[in-house]
Amino acid sequence: MTAVVTGSGSALPASLDQQAAWDGFFARHYEGVRAAGRIFAGAGVRTRHAVANPLDEDLSGWSTGARMERYVQEAPPLGKQAVAGALDSAGLAPGDVGLFAVATCTGYATPGLDIRLAADLGMPPGLQRLLIGHMGCYAALPGLAAVGDFVTARGRPAVLLCCELTSLHVQPAQRDLQQVVAHALFSDAAAAVVVQPGAGTGRRLAGVVARTDSSTADLMTWDVTDLGFRMGLSPRVPDVLSRHVGEVVDELLAAAGLRIGDVAGWAVHPGGPRILDVVRDELGLAEEQLAASRRVLAEHGNCSSATVLLVLDELADVDGPVVVMAFGPGLTLYAALLLPAG
């Protein structure tokens, strides 16, 4: 039994122009930080999405409890829209789902988003659920691996939802360039995929490879504080990724008897412009092979775990093998191979 991605859906809150966000809020927020304007301008982001628009409301002094209350208000409608769209594109009803997995690192509540959405969507009471928490930007791929294993073992469809509301975690003004980078990049989105057993159309999950370099764990962090979740993002991250991305992709492709030249599409998580530059250079790719990732970064920003699913959607018409890659705390690299079903 094979696990095949047969549907996808997404939901985005209101758009926010990057320059307007700088002019109307962050220029004042980071007044006196000389590099801040340059960082915003060079982030590769033109527009992004926010449930909490800093031009309308300043959450930087909110407690974590207040931010979590807002998450419970804002996340379910976006998650519901994304999942409903994915089910519709796959031709399934909520009652057909055997496993519902939700990945998020930007909000927590009990009952969780998985329970709230399952009930609201009308999924069956015997539904199995999986919450994938605090893994960060790469969470979509271990999530995809988990739902793929369920589909293969149980012969029932599964849904993976990634829902991230990073705008709820704007931090108090500090002379910290890592915070400037985070605020220049991150955005909100929900994205979902449906995985079915043995489907004749769609993309078959053919392999997953993971690599964690625990010696560099302090270079990317996501800490729970009294004032929301705070990102640590070292400028050394691209250099660490450059040491591992080649071997990860080689391992993934070799298991399927493929080489880099056989890959028709690259869905690479756009953690930032330098991340994409490293992937391009280490794998010897042409710039146009990362066009989908650059486009998602420019139009939507870095939406944490949901981002790579948005990039994958951009490659919907690509015929042939597709490599999906994402990176996050650990430092961790994940890669998945999708092949045409049938």
Contact present, 240 and 213 (Cβ < 8 Å): yes
Contact present, 64 and 227 (Cβ < 8 Å): yes
Q: For the stretch 314-326, what's the b/e string if a residue is b when 16 or more beta carbons lie within 10 angstroms of its beta carbon?
A: bbeebeebbbbbb
105 in catalytic set: no
Strand partners, 8: 193
Contact present, 8 and 308 (Cβ < 8 Å): no
The full DSSP string for 132-200 is EES-GGGTHHHHHHHHHHHHHHH---EEEEEEEEGGGGPPPP-S-HHHHHHHHHB-EEEEEEEEEET-S
What is the chain's percent helix, strand, coil content, to nearest 5? 45, 25, 30
Alpha-carbon span 223 to 231, nearest angstrom: 6
Mapping DSSP to helix (H, G, I), strand (E, B) and coil, where does residue 275 land? helix
Strands 188-197 and 203-212 turn out to be unpaired
Could you say which of 105, 137, 162, 163 is catalytic? 137
Question: Who's near 110: CB < 8 A, 6+ residues apart?
Answer: none
Alpha carbons within 13 angstroms on the beta-carbon side of residue 227 total 10
Alpha-carbon span 140 to 159, nearest angstrom: 12
**Residues belonging to the active site:** 137
